[in-house]
Structure 1
Amino acid sequence: MSSLRKTLRALTIALVSATLLAPGAPARAEPSPAELTRRIEKSSTELEHVVEAYNKLREEIKTNTAAAARLQSRIGPLEQQTERSRADVGELAVTAYKTGNNLATAEALLRPGGSDSLLDRLGMLDQLTRQRQEKISNFTASQRRLIGEKTRLEVTLGRQAAQARELTAAKRRIERDLAELYELRRQAYGRATEKPAVRTDGAKDAPAISGRAGVAVRYAYGAIGKPYVWGGAGPNGYDCSGLTSAAWRAAGKSLPHNARMQWGAVAHIGRGELRPGDLVFYRGLGHVALYVGDGQVIDAPSAGRNVLKRGMNLMPIQGYGRVR
């Protein structure tokens, strides 16, 4: 065997041996519990911001729907008024055509009679002229108002259509992100959601607080143990702003179903002024909770969890608000 063949044979044997003896690729390590917890917290925070953006869109659509209904209710009478004004102007045009406006004026002025009669005729002509001008002005104003209302309605309906498209896209994203979050929770805890709490009349545990704030606090206590449901405002599940809006709705006060919009609707107060029923807002206005006293809040934490009572320093606080 030639030396070249011997060398090639030796190299081949060495390569095969190295391949057989080389350790396999290391198995991908499973994420640690701490890593899973970190991912869950990060995903939960991000998802809550998306949900609150979705809630804001729903609130804006409700506002635009109401605005469109108001515009529609005004357009009908305006159309009728415009048609009446159009008929008046049309009648003036027909009369002017039949009688000849300038000739009729000259004839009235040249008609025999004294100065008093002439003044009377001039006054009558002036009155007729004002009446004609008023009818024409009414028609012009009615038409302008009608065009303005129809334009505003078109803009409102266009905005609604755009928001509806955004809402659909946001819902798809939430459902996708929610599936990923639930999978992380299954890896970490063996199930996607917390076990349903044993239902008791939690409202009985609420502190004795008078007035509307007391009603809101008792409602929140009654929601403890119910699941987080994105976009939910009760009675079977809630997201954070859904819980605070439902609690205050029970007390006869309307709050928008969105943390940022609630921040804009309440009176801002200091930490030292907090009393049960006030709202606690968190960094980025992506989360809101109901203060129930003794440094505690009740909130709907995040997807997969249940409504609970806990210390209010659960994350950096943006500010505090009192429902007016």
Structure 2
Amino acid sequence: MIAVTAFAVTLTGAQAAHASPSTSDLTKQIDAQSKQLEVVVESYNAMNISLQKTQSDLTKLQASLAPAKAALQNASAQVGTIATTAYVQGRVGPMSALLDGNSGDLMAKMGFLDQLQQSNQRDIDNFTQTTQTFAQRQTELKSTQQKQAAQLAEIKARKAKIEKDIKSLKAKRTQAYGSPTQSGHKYTGSIPNVSGDAGVAVRYAFNAIGSSYVFGADGPGSYDCSGLTMASWKAAGHSLPHNAAAQWGDVAHISRGDLEPGDLVFYNSLAHVGIYVGNNQIIDAPREGEPVDKRSINRGMPIYGYGRVT
């Protein structure tokens, strides 16, 4: 932007008057498209989190299906034995026991038949319950697989849209400013001395300065906004999801007056996040074509809120 401005002031008054609106309009278009793109990127990250949960649920269902199938086979065998015994021996009921043998064995035989009927009924009930459980788990598995397939298709479509938007954004930037810088210079200045886990996260963020922006990336070497904050706090032993809105749900909400280095600053209706490093400055992964850098907390996006990792 500075180069374009410097170039513009060397033109004649008429030329500058003609060039300035065009450059200004293009800058507004790029800024607007970048904000839209970041919303899509964070949506993509949220869908990835959902997909990971679906895959975890799918693994659990598959694991639970094996014992259910084994129980079903066992129950089926028990019911098969009952059916075979009834076929070979005929239908033997309490009246047969009354007519068979002497009366001295009557009470023992009645007790035996009662136990036999109860045992058979338990096997039949077990068969029925196990069959229902197996069928229910099969249905859940099929539903989960369908959900996973739908999410994969949606992610693929979103990814294609992101890539198309990035391509358009690069073309516009190149037209206005020349080839964009994908990575910047590594930070060589002093790093604030912050104690504890927050200090680890802050040092990581400073060391990430100059890394390129890549949607869906969480380092090392490239990041998107929530990928950078996630990686910074992961270095300190804390787990954050790879999505700004999900991170907002995981942190303790604080006021601006309570901000300390290591806290997170959320922007643009939770479509962007950066890590606070003190002196009203943050480090963030801004957008395609711009490297991770330190900048003012008032970075031109509406601030949504502030959060502390606990």
Q: Is TM (by shorter chain) over 0.5?
A: yes
Query: Partner amino acid for 1:37?
Result: T
Given the superposition, is the C-alpha separation of residues 230 and 93 from structure 1 closer, same or farther in structure 2, using an over 3 Å criterion?
same
Query: Partner amino acid for 2:293?
Result: L
1:243 aligns to 2:219 (yes or no) = no
Q: Which stretch has the larger CA shift, 119-128 or 31-40?
A: 119-128
2:202 equivalent among 217, 227, 231: 217
Query: Partner amino acid for 1:318?
Result: Y
Given the superposition, is the C-alpha separation of residues 125 and 186 from structure 1 closer, same or farther in structure 2, using an over 3 Å criterion?
same
Q: How does 1:1-324 map to 2 (within 5 A)?
A: 32-101=22-91, 103-110=92-99, 112-113=102-103, 118-193=106-181, 196-200=183-187, 205-314=190-299, 315-324=301-310
Q: Aligned equivalents of 1:178 and 1:137: distance in 2? A: 61
Given the superposition, is the C-alpha separation of residues 137 and 322 from structure 1 closer, same or farther in structure 2, using an over 3 Å criterion?
farther
Q: Aligned equivalents of 2:254 and 2:268: distance in 1? A: 16
CA contact (8 A) 1:182 1:193 kept: no
Query: Partner amino acid for 1:264?
Result: G
The count of residues paired between Structure 1 and Structure 2 equals 290
Measure how far apart 1:242 and its partner are.
1.0
Counterpart secondary structure, 1:209: coil
Q: Which has the larger radius of gyration?
A: 1
Counterpart secondary structure, 1:32: helix
Given the superposition, is the C-alpha separation of residues 108 and 293 from structure 1 closer, same or farther in structure 2, using an over 3 Å criterion?
farther
Counterpart secondary structure, 2:306: strand
Counterpart secondary structure, 1:59: helix
Counterpart secondary structure, 1:310: strand
The match for 1:19 is none
Measure how far apart 1:79 and its partner are.
0.9
Q: Aligned equivalents of 1:313 and 1:254: distance in 2? A: 27
Gaps of 5+ in 1: 1-28
CA contact (8 A) 1:229 1:238 kept: yes
Gaps of 5+ in 2: 1-17
- The normalised TM-score by structure 2 is 0.85
CA contact (8 A) 2:218 2:227 kept: yes
**1:19-41 deviation line (CA, Å, top 9, x unaligned):** xxxxxxxxxx6553322221221
Counterpart secondary structure, 2:212: coil
Query: Partner amino acid for 1:285?
Result: L
Given the superposition, is the C-alpha separation of residues 267 and 108 from structure 1 closer, same or farther in structure 2, using an over 3 Å criterion?
farther
